[in-house]
Amino acid sequence: MMRIDCVVRGANRLGESPVWSVREQRLYWVDSRAPAVFRLDPATGVVEDLSLPSIVGSIGLRRGGGLVAALQTGLHLLDFDSRRLDFVADPEAHLPENRFNDGRCDRRGRFWSGTMNDARREPTGSLYRLDPDFTVARIRDDVIVPNSICWSPDDTVMYFADTYREQMMAYTFHPDTGELSGLRPFADDRQGPGRPDGSTVDAEGFLWNAKFGGGRVVRYDPKGRVDRILDLPVSQPSSCVFGGPDLRTLYVTSATQRLDDAQLAAQPLAGGLFAADVGVAGLPEPEFAG
């Protein structure tokens, strides 16, 4: 059995979007519903937090320091230390029920994030790309709950999942232009427990996906075949990322939302941050170049 540690017993309502800063040797993640951003120093165990003014779906590192943050009120730049939040753009100001959800930076310094209807599960969401010059491009629509945004090590594949459609997809990715083509199924495990939430890709090109409601993280090979299953002591893992000095620690966020009293009693670590050495290294987290 692989050892899985709960390194922060945070009881996040909706822990999400973990990102590891190689420069700082710290882990950032969010509680979307708090809403807040957290920062962990694994060397000391110290956790800092920063409250935000609206629901936060995802964050990304920024090359110049700080973070890019996707809130319900739009895309922002965030300096965790000074607590400064600078507005960039809100492409869905006309859709008050929508909010940003999963997001990640590509290796050319763009930040990608998708939106979802937070009031009802209707396909009113879209996928957006924020370029380093702060222009925003709408890439696709007809999204219910966007998740699993990440890239293959060679930058030829971009992964994407619409959680409530319960299928993980792959695009052909064109890194020079940031364009997508050739949408195709990647992995369809609707017979398994849980739905696809956040993902990360390791140095071997295998994708790790958190199964929300399924109590597990699944590792897929580049052809979409299940390679390994990491069972967790909580039912709602939400996302994952590799971190640590050698990028060999898999960090997994989780959630307590919609769990009743009996479920919470049975899962005292729900909403916590977990860590495991899974025997493979990850890749450095890309940073926003704007």
pLDDT in tens, 76-93: 999 999 999 999 999 999
Longest dimension (CA), the chain: 51
Q: How far apart are CA 186 and CA 183, in angstroms?
A: 9
Over range 208-232, report the average pLDDT: 97
pLDDT at 216: 97
What are residue 171's DSSP bridge partners? 158
Catalytic residue (choose from 197, 202, 246, 277): 197
237: left (phi over 0), alpha (psi -120 to 50) or beta: beta
Cβ(177)–Cβ(196) below 8 Å: no
Cβ(284)–Cβ(154) below 8 Å: no
- Using the predicted structure, report yes or no on whether residue 122 has a pLDDT greater than 80: yes
Tell me what percent of the residues of the chain surpass a pLDDT of 90: 97
| Token code pair at residue 64 | 């110049």
CB atoms within 10 A of CB 95: 14
pLDDT at 196: 97
**188 is a catalytic site residue:** no
Q: How far apart are CA 162 and CA 146, in angstroms?
A: 5
Nearest-5° angle of CA 164, CA 123, CA 127?
Answer: 90
Cβ(186)–Cβ(224) below 8 Å: yes
Give 3 or 265, the one with higher predicted confidence. 265
pLDDT at 211: 98
Residue 267: pLDDT band (50, 70, 90) is: very high
176: left (phi over 0), alpha (psi -120 to 50) or beta: alpha
CB atoms within 10 A of CB 86: 10
- Using the predicted structure, report yes or no on whether residue 1 has a pLDDT greater than 70: no
Cβ(251)–Cβ(27) below 8 Å: yes
- Using the predicted structure, report yes or no on whether residue 190 has a pLDDT greater than 70: yes
Over range 220-226, report the average pLDDT: 97
Q: HEC states along the chain?
A: CCCEEEEECCCCCEEEEEEEECCCCEEEEEECCCCEEEEEECCCCEEEEEECCCCEEEEEEECCCCEEEEECCEEEEEECCCCEEEEEECCCCCCCCEEEEEEEECCCCCEEEEEEECCCCCCCEEEEEECCCCCEEEEEEEECCEEEEEECCCCCEEEEEEHHHCEEEEEEEECCCCEEEEEEEEECCCCCCCEEEEEEEECCCCEEEEEECCCEEEEECCCCCEEEEEECCCCCEEEEEEECCCCCEEEEEEECCCCCHHHHHHCCCCCCEEEEECCCCECCCCEECC
Q: Which amino acid is at 231?
A: D
CB atoms within 10 A of CB 280: 16
Over range 109-128, report the average pLDDT: 97
Residue 2: pLDDT band (50, 70, 90) is: confident
Residue 163: pLDDT band (50, 70, 90) is: very high
pLDDT at 236: 98
Over range 58-75, report the average pLDDT: 97
- Using the predicted structure, report yes or no on whether residue 189 has a pLDDT greater than 90: no
Provide the mean pLDDT of the chain. 97
